């Protein structure tokens, strides 16, 4: 019974952790400019070999550290909701000087 409760708590916490999308900002930029950079980062994540390699590495690391349950968070229907893609996207935004 304790294992079941622990598993339910783990799944719930993982689901909640991936829910919120940060609102990005950078001094001196309008929301249009921020949205343009978000689109650039999504293109990097979804359409470039380097971005896909980072996503694959993030998935591997999550599987190793979090176990197979983390692989359930892969969302093939909407890649912008896939937690590994979001991690790489957020890294791209931070690399370009944006803050959440």
Domain parsing of the chain, residue ranges: 2-95
What pLDDT score does 10 carry? 46
> Could you tell me how far CA 8 lies from the centroid of its own chain?
22
Classify 79 as helix, strand or coil: helix
Summarised one tens digit per residue, pLDDT across range 6-37 is 444 444 444 444 445 789 999 999 999 999 99
Dihedral (C-alpha) 2, 6, 9, 15: value to the nearest 10 degrees?
A: -150
Summarised one tens digit per residue, pLDDT across range 56-86 is 998 888 777 766 666 566 666 788 888 889 9
How far is residue 88 from each of residues 49, 61, 84, measured CA to CA in Å?
A: 13, 13, 6
């Amino acid at each position: 019974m304790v294992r079941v409760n622990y598993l339910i708590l783990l799944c719930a916490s993982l689901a909640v952790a991936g829910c919120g999308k940060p609102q990005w900002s950078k001094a001196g930029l309008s929301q249009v400019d921020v949205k343009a950079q978000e689109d650039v980062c999504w293109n990097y994540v979804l359409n470039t070999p380097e971005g896909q390699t980072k996503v694959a590495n993030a998935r591997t690391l999550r599987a190793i550290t979090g176990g197979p349950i983390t692989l359930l968070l892969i969302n093939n229907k909407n890649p912008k909701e896939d937690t590994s893609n979001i991690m790489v996207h957020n890294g791209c935004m931070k690399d370009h000087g944006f803050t959440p």
